[in-house]
Amino acid sequence: MGDLLDRATAETYASWFRALADPTRVQIVEYLARQARPMPVGEVVAAVGLAQSTVSQHLKVLTEVRFVLVDPVGTARHYRINTDCIACFPSAADVVMGRPAPAAIGDCS
């Protein structure tokens, strides 16, 4: 039997899974990943079709786990996918399911 996943890594993975436990957040991550460019919240709001305050709350959760990064542009904030962090997610899911990680799991920072 293998070693238990260390607590810090388990906590990181749990925060990722919690962040993606909402379908709107999954949609936002997918949209930002597909667009592959920083965009203002208004564009994300238009794509998702929810109130700006709701989208902003979802973006806050996604930035806390580093799936989404924020770039200040003047007085605005533009949101973009954190490709390094998103690349780690399939490996994290594999590890949690008891499979070998297909790639090294990097630092999501």
The answer to whether position 106 is within a domain reads: no
Write out the two tokens for 3: 């070693």
The answer to whether position 105 is within a domain reads: no
Interstrand relation of 39-40 and 68-73 (parallel, antiparallel or unpaired): unpaired
The answer to whether position 101 is within a domain reads: no
Tell me the residue range of the domain where 92 lies.
Answer: 7-96
Is the pLDDT at 10 greater than 90? The verdict is: no
Helices and strands of the chain, counted as H and E runs: 5, 3
Calpha distance 7→105 (Å, rounded): 15
The answer to whether position 44 is within a domain reads: yes
The answer to whether position 1 is within a domain reads: no
What total number of domains does the chain contain?
A: 1
Summarised one tens digit per residue, pLDDT across range 49-71 is 999 999 999 999 999 999 999 99
* CATH number where 43 lies: 1.10.10.10
Is the pLDDT at 1 greater than 60? The verdict is: no
The answer to whether position 102 is within a domain reads: no
Summarised one tens digit per residue, pLDDT across range 67-97 is 999 999 999 999 999 988 777 776 767 666 6
